[in-house]
Amino acid sequence: MQRRHCLGMIGSLPLWGAVGLARAALPDTVSRMKPSVVLVGTWRDTDSPRFQLRGTGFLAGRASQVVTCAHVLPVPQESEPPAQLVVQVWQRDSTWSMRQARVLGTERHGDIALLGIEGPAGPPARLGDSSTVREGDDLAFMGFPIGNVLGYAHVVHRAMVSSIATSVPPSPDADRLRGSAIRGAREGTFDIFQLDAVAYPGNSGGPLFRPETGEVVGMMNMVLIKGTRESALSQPSGIAYAIPSARVNELMTGLR
C-alpha cells in the first residue's frame, strides 16, 4: 500500500511541476508584456479629465497596430465636438506616451477593432493558437480595470478556462432573449472562453495569455458576451469571457 502511495505521488509530479513552472514564470512574463499592453481612450480639451479611458488594447502584428474591442471605440455625439481617439503606450521609464489613433478595421460580430497609431510603439505581443486552449488551462489577463478611478497601472489576474462555450447559448424561452442576443443568433454563434475570474469595466480589449510564454490566446470582452450569453439574466454575473485569438487573426489577415 505504501509503495502504491509513493508511486501515485511520483506520477503526479509532472503535473504539479508544470503548474509550478507556470506560476514561477508569470512575473517574468508580466514584465515582458507590459510595454505591449496599452490604454485606449479619447482626448478632448473640454473634458475633465481630458483623457477618458475606454478600455485596454495590445500591440500585435506590426508594432504600430493595436487590437481592442470594437465597443471601446467612441460614438460621436451631435451635441458635442468630436473626441480624438488616442492610445497611450507604456514607456520603460514608467510613464505613458500618447499617440493619435485611427481605425483600420472592425469586425462587429466578434466585437474586434484594429487601430493604427502614430509614432514609435512598444514590442508587439505574439498571437498564439487559440485552438490549443483546453478547459482547465491556467491563463492570465492584463488590463486597466476601473482605470479612470483606480489609476492607469497594469493589473494582472489569473484565470482558469472553466468552459469553451458558444457566444449565444440555446434558450428554452426565446421571448426572454434581448436584442443583442437575437442579432448574435441570426449572425451565427462562435466559440468563446468562459473564465473562472472576475473582470471589470476597463478590462475589455486586454490580452488573455499563457503565463509561461506570453502568447495571446484571447481578448477580454465584458460587453458583447454579456449582452448575448447572459441576456436572459436580470442581474448579469461576474463571470469573465474572452474572444479567441483566432478571430483576431482573421481580421488582421483580411486587412493585409
CATH code (residue 148): 2.40.10.10
How do residues 187-214 score in pLDDT, each as one tens digit? Answer: 568 899 999 998 888 999 999 999 999 9
Assigned domain for 239 exists: yes
Distance from first CA to last CA of the chain, Å, rounded? 62
Is residue 98, in this structure, part of any structural domain at all?
no
Please name which of 172, 161, 178, 147 lies closest in space to residue 218, comparing C-alpha atoms: 161
Q: Is 35 contained in some domain?
A: no
Q: Assess if residue 54 is contained within a domain.
A: no
Q: Is the model's pLDDT at 1 over the cut of 60?
A: no
The conformational region for residue 136 under phi > 0 = left, psi -120 to 50 = alpha, else beta, is: left
Q: Give the tens place of pLDDT for each residue, 34-57.
A: 999 999 999 999 999 999 999 999
Q: Which of 59-68, 98-107, 172-181 has the highest mean pLDDT?
A: 98-107
Least confident range from 68-72, 124-128, 235-239: namely 235-239
pLDDT at 252 over 50: yes
Residue 250 lies in a domain: yes
Classify residue 34: in a domain, yes or no. no
144-183 per-position pLDDT tens digit = 999 999 999 999 999 999 999 988 665 545 555 554 544 5
Give the pLDDT of residue 118.
87
C-alpha 147, offset from chain centre: 15
Q: pLDDT-based confidence at 255, cuts 50/70/90?
A: confident
Contact 125, 188 (CB under 8 A): no
pTM above 0.85, yes or no: no
In the chain, helix, strand, coil percent, each to 5?
30, 35, 40
Range of the domain at 197: 130-254
pLDDT reported for residue 14 = 53
Mean pLDDT (the chain) is 84
What is the total residue count of the chain? Answer: 256
Whether residue 47 is contained in a domain is answered as no
Number of domains present in the structure of the chain: 1
Quickly count helices (H) and strands (E) in the chain.
5, 12
Q: Is residue 65 part of a domain?
A: no
144/154 Cα distance (integer angstroms)? 6
